[in-house]
Structure 1
Amino acid sequence: MKNIVLIGFMGTGKTSTGKLLAKRLGAAFIDLDRAIEEEYGMTIPVMFQQKGEAYFRACEHAMVEKTAGRRNTVISTGGGTVKDPANMAALHEGGIIVCLKADIDTILARTASHGTRPVLDSEDQGDRRQAIASLLAERRRLYEVADFYVDTSTRTPREVVDEIIRQIKHEKIGGGSHA
């Protein structure tokens, strides 16, 4: 089975969906952010604080290269993984790219706890909404690499998984490039 790669903005449910999807498919699961933390021995917020975003992105790219060649794996990417075209090319080569999306209010609610989202944690609540809107607008074009999209705003992870499986079966039935 090709990998299934979950991309999307932070708070769209990539990790919770990925775990459940992997279980349903009998596949391995890799959360890129957790894998980076294990490999480099520090949390991502600490990495951002001590080493900076450029260092983190280099570590992220190394982890993408390490995991992209696997098979039968559900890979949950970090929210900014799409910023590097080389990451997406590597992940797309052996995988089906699924973009999870959600509306701003849902993302704001899901990312409300401080200390876990370095890109947003410096913002107060009003500024967080604007920061999310700005980042979504900035990254919208980057998400176009997806083979298909699933809106998670009003769906449970189980419903999102059902929709992903339905879409993948549709791709196979339709004789698409992911058959």
Structure 2
Amino acid sequence: MSEIEHNLAKSPSHGVWRLHKTVVMVGMMGAGKTAVGRALAQRLAVPFLDSDAEIESAANMTIPEIFARDGEPFFRSKESQVISRLLEEERGILSTGGGAFLSESNRAIISARGVSVWLNAELGVLWNRVKHKDTRPLLRTDDPHATLAALYQARVPLYAKSDLSVVSDGEAAIEQMVDRVIGVLETRPDVLERN
């Protein structure tokens, strides 16, 4: 039995929902895309995919190492290829890096093959979640808070183009965030419906 089949068999919600399109989690670093996405996939009994993890696995390097060695444009090119492949191969929950949704071509392919869900977190919530981590290459600056604020201001108008939005307020537990995401997904029967 594969890991996915095992998870399906033990999932209490198996058979409750039918997912018709891949749900692509978008938003700023620290918004909770991976944590919420992983829990959502488990709740819906579908595969969890992570574009950053796929890139790291293919390159046998961490994202910061790729940024340092090859630069951000190279990384963004690989990121687009990976997102396109993941959207083609398997229906599930896909967590993307914070910059993935900025690309017009990525937004177009996500819209064509899946549905984007923006985890909309305020700047203060994001800062509280990322300020003690050294895994964010874009925040390796003299003033990481100012850098995060500038990224936030530049990116929010693009995230606002997502198909659906859920507030990530820093108060809700992961399971509550999953409930919120399912709530908005259920407004789109072309994406998610109860059996």
TM exceeds 0.5?
yes
Amino acid at match of 1:146: S
Match of residue 42 from structure 1: 61
Deviation of the 1:33 alpha carbon: 0.5
Do residues 105 (structure 1) and 124 (structure 2) align? yes
Match of residue 167 from structure 1: 184
Find the aligned partners of 2:116 and 2:51 in 1 and give their Cα distance: 15
Say how many residue pairs are matched.
172
Match of residue 11 from structure 1: 30
Amino acid at match of 1:29: F
Match of residue 159 from structure 2: 143
Amino acid at match of 1:166: G
1:83 counterpart (83, 102, 106): 102
Gaps of 5+ in 1: none
Do residues 132 (structure 1) and 148 (structure 2) align? yes
Amino acid at match of 2:134: G
TM-score (norm 2): 0.83
Q: Matched residues, percent identical?
A: 32
Deviation of the 1:79 alpha carbon: 0.2
Deviation of the 1:156 alpha carbon: 1.5
Deviation of the 1:106 alpha carbon: 1.2
Amino acid at match of 1:90: I
Gaps of 5+ in 2: 1-19
Amino acid at match of 1:143: Y
Match of residue 152 from structure 1: 168
Amino acid at match of 2:182: I
Find the aligned partners of 2:161 and 2:89 in 1 and give their Cα distance: 20
TM-score (norm 1): 0.90
Deviation of the 1:41 alpha carbon: 1.1
Find the aligned partners of 1:166 and 1:65 in 2 and give their Cα distance: 26
Q: Secondary structure at the match of 2:89?
A: coil
Find the aligned partners of 1:19 and 1:114 in 2 and give their Cα distance: 20
Match of residue 57 from structure 1: 76
Higher Rg of the two aligned structures = 2
CA-atom RMSD in angstroms: 1.5
Deviation of the 1:61 alpha carbon: 1.1
Find the aligned partners of 1:114 and 1:25 in 2 and give their Cα distance: 30
The structure 1 segments of at least 4 consecutive aligned residues displaced by more than 4 Å after TM superposition are none
Deviation of the 1:170 alpha carbon: 2.3
Deviation of the 1:71 alpha carbon: 4.0
Amino acid at match of 1:122: T
